[in-house]
Amino acid sequence: MRADRLVSLVLLLRQRGRLSAATLARELEVSTRTVLRDIEALSAAGVPVYAERGRRGGFALLPGFQTELTGLNHDEALALLVAGSRRGAQVFGLGSALASAVLKVVDALPDGYRDTAAGAAQRLLIDPETDLLSRRVVAEEVPDTVVAEVRRAVFAGHKLRIRYAAVDQTPKWRTVDPIGLVTVRGQGYLLATRSGADRTYRLSRILAAEELDEPAQRPDRVDLDRAWQERSTWFRTGGDQVAVLVRVNAARREELVATALAVLAEETDADGWLRLEVTFQDSRHAEWAIWQLTTDAEALAPQWLRTSLRNRAAAIATCYGASS
């Protein structure tokens, strides 16, 4: 880890010029004392780093200390910079490694390529944290120790023992055969099999993981895109899904449909509202989807859903009732 940090320190000085110990500590996520020790180690190793005293002082490299990677053209360099902005590396615990790799690539580019590629990358924004409605996309937090163990088992082709907390269930240990990792909108998933049956595990629900020495029972080659599509189809059509008949304001139709698994039937009432029969993954999702549309939607059936929504509305009304 220290060797990687030393390389990152050199590259920061190469690309940004003179930097203070405080700035380097912030960029490298270490203490200023650690930065000073690293500077001493670089000097002892022959790296031409020197200190400038004074108010605007800091550390810098002697001019000309660089390497060039001439095999990359402008578009290739731009592609690497764009890749460095993707969220997948963060989800899979590779964020710091990716940042370091991109830093090295940018440093190794010839001056002309470096400037134009970096400038072009500033014109592209990939997967921002919020959409146009300011709805925030929050990446799930997964402990580095857990995701690192999962990642090693996936790449090594070994069985994996995980302590998994399924929804509304007590966490349990289980042994799986890992197939691959998938990230979707900041959420990571482990595709695996258990006793020969397909399984999909959310990384944020894996509380602990242990790579085993035993080889995983899995095919040598896998089409992750196809596997993900198949499991997505099962998710939409299997499980404890429920069918709901709902009246909805036509202006809110897309919001309702976006939360449903499928639209089974649709017709327009005389007042312009739509009457849809839709399916949801389970009762909890059905209640949430109708509730968020407030008075722009009315569940007509099943009766248990109408009762649940009425009880929730009554509880809210009681909470915000007139006070003395």
Q: Over the stretch 207-225, which tens digit does the pLDDT of each residue have?
A: 999 999 999 999 888 888 8
Residue 148, classed as helix, strand or coil, is helix
Residue 274, classed as helix, strand or coil, is strand
CA dihedral defined by 178, 184, 186, 187, rounded to 10 degrees?
A: -40
Cβ neighbours of 119 (radius 10 Å): 10
CA dihedral defined by 288, 165, 261, 236, rounded to 10 degrees?
A: -170
Q: What is the mean pLDDT of residues 235-255?
A: 85
Residue 19, classed as helix, strand or coil, is strand
Q: What is the largest CA-CA distance in the chain?
A: 84
| Model confidence, pTM | 0.51
94 pLDDT band, cuts 50/70/90, is low
More confidently predicted of 66 and 192? 192
Amino acid (1-letter code) at residue 221? R
Q: Cis (ω within 30 of 0) for the bond into 48?
A: no
And the tokens for 31?
A: 């203490």
pLDDT for res 322: 66
pLDDT in tens, 111-162: 655 566 556 555 655 566 666 666 666 666 788 889 889 988 998 899 999 9
